[in-house]
Amino acid sequence: MWSASSLLTRRGGVLLALLLLLSFITMMSDAASSSSYRSQTGWWDEVTSLPGYRTQNGSSTLPSRMFSGYVNLSSDHNVLPPALTDATSMFMHYFMFTAEDTSTPAPTIVWWNGGPGASSAWGLFVENGPLLLTEESVLSEEDVQQLILNPYRWTKHANLIAFCNPPPIGFSYCLPAGPTGNGTACGTWNDTRVGIVDAEAIRIVVSDHFPALAQHPIYFMGESYAGVYIGETVQWMLSNPTTFAPVLAKLAGVALGDACLGSDVLCGGASGPYPTLLFFYGHGQVSTELWNWLLTQCTTTELNGRTQSATCTAAINKIYDAVGGYYAYNLVDQCTSDAFSSSRSVSQKERRQKNAAAAELVASSTALGSTIPIPEENGYWCPGQIFFEYFDRADARTATFVPLNSTFFNADDGEGMSYVYNSLSVMPAITALLLNRNPAINQGRPVHVWAFDGDEDPSVNIFSTQEAWWKYATSQTFQKTKEWSSWVINGSTIVGGYSTEWLNGTLSFVSIRGSGHMVAEYKPASALAFLQSFLKGTSLPPYVAPPPSMEGRRRRKNKRTSVNARRRFPSSGLSKDL
C-alpha cells in the first residue's frame, strides 16, 4: 500500500501532490462501487463475506456490515515511540462490525483486550462479536473452521470496533520491518505511548474513516490491562481537548472489566498478597486450618504490603503449594489449551472426535434429565487455537484485506515485546470523567464509569478489585447510593452477580457470578445484560424472590428429580440427599 507522507517527501513534491490528489479522487470514485476507501489517514474496506460462515438458509451475508482497515499514523510523528525515526511508518489495524438494528442510530463501543500485547481482534471473535471462533467451529467435517453466530453478540445494540494495539500486535505493523515484523518491530512501548497512539487511532476512525460515528454516543470498554490502556488514552485526550473534540463530545461511558489500574493501584503488587490468598480461601481452595495458621505467621502489615519476612514468605508459599494447579484466568475452567498457548498440535479431526465424544457422553446421561448437550466440560466452548488457525488461512486474510504474509503477533504480559510499565495510576483520568462539567465533554454531563469483575478470576481477583474501587470511592468522598445487592439477567430470577453504586450510578462496581477473567467469553448472557444496562445508564435489574408457592413447587420438583436419579442409578454411590 502507498503512503501519502512518503510520496510527498520525494523530489518534485508539488507535482506529486497533484498526482496524488488525482489518484485519490479516482480511488474515491471507485469506492462507491467497490466499498474500498483510501485517504491520507489510512485505508479501509468492507468485508462482504467470510470463509466458513453461512446462515441456515445457505446465505453468506454477514449479520451486519463489517470493515477491515488500517490507520496511518505516519504523518503525525509525535505519536511514535522515540525508538522510531521520522522515516518510519506505523499502521494500526482494526475490525469494525456495525450495529444490526439500522432503524435507529446506534452507539459505538471501542473494545480493548489487554496483555500488554493481546489483540483486541481475539476478543471480537471469541468474546463479544457477532461471529465466534471456538472449538465448536471444528465440529463439522468442513475443511474451513466454521464461524458461529453469537446469540449474545454486542452488535445487537452497538457498533463494535477492535484495534490491534499497539503495533505490531495482530495485523498492525511498522516500516521498515513491514507486515512480517516480530514483536519488537515497532520499537519500545510504554503505557503512556500506547495511550497516545490509541487516542490518535480512535480520533482518525471516528472523524475521518466513519464520521457518522461522531454523531452518537461513544463508549470505551475493555478488560485486564486495558484498564491502563483506556485510562492513559482518556488522559491524553483530556490533555488535548481540541484535537480530540469529536471523540470527547460523545464519550458517554467507560467500562473496565477485571481491570488493572496502574502499579500503585491494582496489578502492581501495591495491595500485597492478601487479596489473592483471600480469594483462594474464600473459594474453598485452602483449608480453614491452614488459613488460621497463616494468620499466625504473617502480620496484617506483611499481608497487605510489598515486603514480607522469611517466616511469612514461607507460610505464603505453603498456601500456594496447597492450592496446586489452576488456570490463571478462571479458577474452574477446564479448557486444556488457552488462547495464548503455543501448542497447536491437535488436529481438527482429533478435536472433532473429542468434541463429538463429549457431546455424546452428555447427551446420553439423563442423571439430571437434561437433553441439551453441554459443550466440553464447562458449559461453554473452549477457544483453543481456532482464532489463530482461522486467520492463518490465505482465504480468510484475502477476505479481510490484510497482507497474506503478515505475522499475526499476539502476546500476554508483554512477552516478545519491548515494553515498559510506567503507569502508576489511571484514577485521575477516572475522576475527571466522573466529575465532568466541561460542556465540550459529553455535553457537560458526568461520564459513567462502571467496573465489572468475574468472581472466579484468580488473576485480577474480585477481592483486590473491590478493595481498589472502595478505597478510591472513599478517598473521593463519593456518596454511596446503592448498597451491595444482587442483580438478575433479563427480568428472570437468575442472579447474574452483585453491584454497588456511587453518585447515583455514575460510578458502579459489578460482579459477574461464575465468570473468569474474560467475562463475555465465560458468561455471555450476563455480559450482554450488563452491557444493556451500561449503555442505557440505568441500574442493573434487582433480584426479586419468587412467591413462596413457586419455591414450594421447585422444592417438590427437586425432590422428585432426586428420587428418579436414585432409581436410575441405584449402584452409583449417590448421596441419599442428592
Q: DSSP letters of 192-219?
A: HHHHHHHHHHHHHIIIII-GGGGGS-EE
Is the predicted pLDDT of residue 19 greater than 70, yes or no? no
Helix, strand, coil content of the chain in percent (nearest 5): 40, 15, 45
pLDDT at 16: 36
pLDDT at 255: 99
Band of pLDDT at residue 433, cut at 50, 70 and 90: very high
The count of other CB atoms within 10 Å of the CB of residue 120 is 27
Distance CA 519, CA 276 (A): 19
Contact yes or no for 452/498 (Cβ under 8 A): no
Nearest partner of 389 among 408, 413, 411, 405, judged by Cα: 408
Is the predicted pLDDT of residue 12 greater than 80, yes or no? no
Q: Would you kindly state where each structural domain of the chain is located, as residue ranges?
A: 1-34, 35-268+409-536, 286-323, 552-578
pLDDT at 512: 97
3-state secondary structure of 122: helix
Distance CA 452, CA 47 (A): 32
pLDDT at 403: 95
Q: Report the greatest alpha carbon distance in the chain.
A: 90
Distance CA 273, CA 323 (A): 14
| Average pLDDT for the chain | 83
Range 340-356 burial, b when 16+ CB lie within 10 A, else e? beeeeeeebeebeeebe
Q: What are the CA-CA distances from residue 46 to residues 212, 304, 388 (Å)?
A: 16, 52, 21
Band of pLDDT at residue 337, cut at 50, 70 and 90: low
Nearest partner of 63 among 42, 77, 49, 43, judged by Cα: 49
Nearest partner of 296 among 319, 322, 327, judged by Cα: 319
Contact yes or no for 249/214 (Cβ under 8 A): yes
Q: At what angle do helices 274-282 and 462-475 cross, to 10 degrees?
A: 130
pLDDT at 62: 96
pLDDT at 577: 28
- Is the model more confident about 363 or about 527? 527
Taking only the tens place, the pLDDT of each residue in 387-411 is: 999 999 999 999 999 999 999 999 8
Taking only the tens place, the pLDDT of each residue in 549-563 is: 665 566 655 555 544
Contact yes or no for 442/250 (Cβ under 8 A): yes
pLDDT at 351: 39
Map grid coordinates 510520496 to a residue.
7
pLDDT at 394: 96
pLDDT at 6: 34
Is the predicted pLDDT of residue 419 greater than 70, yes or no? yes
- Is the model more confident about 354 or about 175? 175
Contact yes or no for 249/442 (Cβ under 8 A): yes
Query: What residues have CB less than 8 Å from 549, skipping those under 6 apart?
Result: none
Is the predicted pLDDT of residue 568 greater than 60, yes or no? no
Taking only the tens place, the pLDDT of each residue in 54-75 is: 988 989 999 999 999 999 987 5
Q: At what angle do helices 310-323 and 274-282 cross, to 10 degrees?
A: 30
CATH of domain 35-268+409-536: 3.40.50.1820
Nearest partner of 277 among 308, 233, 236, judged by Cα: 308
DSSP β-bridge partners for residue 111: 162, 221
- Is the model more confident about 115 or about 346? 115
pLDDT at 545: 87
pLDDT at 83: 55
Overall pTM > 0.95: no
Calculate mean pLDDT across residues 360-385. 55
Is the predicted pLDDT of residue 369 greater than 90, yes or no? no
Calculate what percentage of the chain has a pLDDT beyond 90: 65
Calculate mean pLDDT across residues 160-170. 95
Taking only the tens place, the pLDDT of each residue in 209-240 is: 999 999 999 999 999 999 999 999 999 999 99
Band of pLDDT at residue 354, cut at 50, 70 and 90: very low
Nearest partner of 313 among 272, 280, 283, judged by Cα: 272
DSSP β-bridge partners for residue 423: none
Least confident of 109-123, 340-354, 433-447: 340-354
Is the predicted pLDDT of residue 109 greater than 50, yes or no? yes
- Is the model more confident about 115 or about 483? 483
Is the predicted pLDDT of residue 15 greater than 90, yes or no? no
Is the predicted pLDDT of residue 576 greater than 50, yes or no? no
Is the predicted pLDDT of residue 93 greater than 90, yes or no? yes
- Is the model more confident about 1 or about 508? 508
Least confident of 41-50, 131-140, 335-344: 335-344
Band of pLDDT at residue 79, cut at 50, 70 and 90: low
The three three-digit cell numbers of residue 218, written as one number: 461513544
Band of pLDDT at residue 378, cut at 50, 70 and 90: low
Distance CA 559, CA 578 (A): 9
